[in-house]
Amino acid sequence: MTSQAENLTNIDQFESGRSLWQDAWSRLKRNKLAIIGLSLLIFIGLVCILTPWIAPYSYEHQNLALGATPPSAQHWFGTDNLGRDLMTRVMYGGRVSLAVGLIATAVALTIGVTWGAIAGYTGGKVDTIMMRLVDIIYALPFMIFIVLLMVVFGRSLLLLFLAIGAVEWLTMARIVRGQVQTLRQLEFVEAAISIGLSKATIIRRHIIPNALGPVIVYTTLTIPNVMLLEAFLSFLGLGIQPPQSSWGVLISNGVEGMEEYPWLLIFPGLALSIVLFSLNFLGDGLRDALDVRASKD
């Protein structure tokens, strides 16, 4: 049991262990699909951020004389019937689609985590009431409500964020609550209580780091859901409105003329599908790497 390091007191001199995060990262790195997804996401994310500077044409640029042309050297993705460069439009549309995905997910994350954590940690009657409410809202047919909301209040982007965020937080709340409840009963949390740590410290040091895995995984998988929802609404004409556009709007426009101009459907569709693929593969990869089991509630 004794080692040559017997008399060392400087902790840093000892070899450090591998934390579970490091383990997870090395597992993730071995998952090729997840890494391809991550790289694609970083690439597409950068392109969308830099769009105003790197887009080949300006957003308003029209060339009515040119009309719809198939992909060419000047217009890699072709042009639409107003002679607008499709690549530029896809890039600008991506900004909106990704923004909706990220912001609505952030809304869902904030509400869901707070709600779930409070319900799970407090337990008892508070928990019962809070989760009962989630159950009731869960039972509401939300898709239909969102359509209704968009009809009634007009098609504002802010409302879209709120509406989508309001649907997606429910699952997040359930997941977090399940996690917290399981963790709360684990012996290391009891040990923390018996040491005399305060509630806040226990939550910060013992509960949150251990509940983070499923939250990360689920967040990654919520973004594609949100983007799909936005595209679905935009496709129906109930989401993003012209002159703004998103991939959903572009796909919707593309469908109208798809017999003559299939590229108008294919390129925005491809862009959306690639992002959805990447997010799903990354989410699955994270799920395996962080060893998150499907939560049952």
In the complex, minimum distance from the CB of residue 187 to another protein, in angstroms, rounded to a whole number: 4
Cα(183)–Cα(175) distance, rounded to whole angstroms? 12
Q: Which residue's CB is nearer to another protein, number 66 or number 274?
A: 274
Q: Which residue's CB is nearer to another protein, number 17 or number 243?
A: 17
| DSSP structure class, residue 79 | B
Please count the other Cβ atoms lying within 10 Å of the Cβ belonging to residue 191: 11
Cα(67)–Cα(100) distance, rounded to whole angstroms? 30
In the complex, minimum distance from the CB of residue 157 to another protein, in angstroms, rounded to a whole number: 17
DSSP assignments along 69-86, one per residue: --S-SSSTT-B-TT--BH
Q: Which residue's CB is nearer to another protein, number 64 or number 152?
A: 152
In the complex, minimum distance from the CB of residue 54 to another protein, in angstroms, rounded to a whole number: 26
Cα(124)–Cα(120) distance, rounded to whole angstroms? 9
In the complex, minimum distance from the CB of residue 3 to another protein, in angstroms, rounded to a whole number: 5
In the complex, minimum distance from the CB of residue 64 to another protein, in angstroms, rounded to a whole number: 26
Q: Which residue's CB is nearer to another protein, number 58 or number 185?
A: 185
Q: Which residue's CB is nearer to another protein, number 43 or number 188?
A: 188
Write the secondary structure of 241-264 as one string of H (helix), E (strand) and C (coil): CCCCCCHHHHHHHHHHCCCCCCHH
In the complex, minimum distance from the CB of residue 11 to another protein, in angstroms, rounded to a whole number: 5
φ/ψ (deg, to 5) at 79: -130, 160
Yes or no: say if 57 and 89 are a contact pair by the CB < 8 Å rule. Answer: no
Distances 261 to 68, 81, 87, 257, 264 between C-alpha atoms, Å: 7, 9, 15, 6, 6
φ/ψ (deg, to 5) at 33: -60, -45
Q: Which residue's CB is nearer to another protein, number 19 or number 74?
A: 19
In the complex, minimum distance from the CB of residue 59 to another protein, in angstroms, rounded to a whole number: 23
Yes or no: say if 226 and 168 are a contact pair by the CB < 8 Å rule. Answer: yes
For residue 227, which of 97, 103, 112, 109 has the smallest C-alpha distance? 97
Please count the other Cβ atoms lying within 10 Å of the Cβ belonging to residue 259: 8
Q: Which residue's CB is nearer to another protein, number 11 or number 64?
A: 11
Q: Which residue's CB is nearer to another protein, number 59 or number 138?
A: 138
In the complex, minimum distance from the CB of residue 25 to another protein, in angstroms, rounded to a whole number: 14
3-state secondary structure of 142: helix
